Amino acid sequence: MDDLAQSVLVQWRVNGVLHELDVLPGLSLLDVLREQLNLTGTHMGCMTGHCGACTVMIDGRIAKSCIAQAATLPRAEIRTIEGLMGPDGRLSPVQQAFWDEAGFQCGYCAPGMLFSAIELLAETPDPTDAEIDSALAGSLCRCTGYQSLRRAVRAAARALKDPNPD
């Protein structure tokens, strides 16, 4: 916006690929991911940190990329929804469970729900419904009423415990 704005050089490993980028101060991580790296799987729903559609993982913790200033992350390990799949292009067990259980409808909220589920199940392999609800509560879904999302998280928990049911 401002010709004089001093851009900042950042070094990020995004989904395993190293990037050196000039980012303008004031830009959100969401903007940089979508516009400079063309990673459009991370979505904008509010820009105020309320909806979770922009969720990514920064250095192993989930974060809302709309309220993360890109220039404040000189070095970071970032994972976006595009980076959840295995190298063979197969869905990860959590993703597969969400698909099989029809967890989503439009899927716009997928980044928040998938990353929340992944983080929850990493720490709590056998979550109660209340734990599932509180893990998902950082994200809004307007389509499902959450019932199918809960079912998908339960199925994902089962899949992670027993990777080869047959």
Contact residues: ligand FES, CB under 6 A: 44-47, 49-54, 64, 66, 104-109, 141-144
Q: Which does 79 bind (CB under 5 to 8 A by kind): other proteins, ligand FES, none?
A: none
Closest CA to 128 of 153, 105, 147: 153
- Interacting residue ranges for other proteins, rule: CB under 8 A: 1, 3, 26-27, 34-35, 39-48, 50-51, 53, 80-82, 84-85, 91, 95, 98-102, 104-111, 114, 129, 132-134, 136-137, 139-150
**Cα distance between residue 116 and residue 122, in whole Å:** 10
Q: Which does 11 bind (CB under 5 to 8 A by kind): other proteins, ligand FES, none?
A: none
**Cα distance between residue 82 and residue 68, in whole Å:** 19
Complex with other proteins: residue 12 or 98, whichever CB lies closer: 98
**Cα distance between residue 14 and residue 106, in whole Å:** 25
Smallest distance from other proteins to CB 43, Å: 7
Q: Which does 78 bind (CB under 5 to 8 A by kind): other proteins, ligand FES, none?
A: none
Complex with ligand FES: residue 85 or 106, whichever CB lies closer: 106
Complex with ligand FES: residue 15 or 144, whichever CB lies closer: 144
Smallest distance from other proteins to CB 48, Å: 5
Q: Which does 63 bind (CB under 5 to 8 A by kind): other proteins, ligand FES, none?
A: none
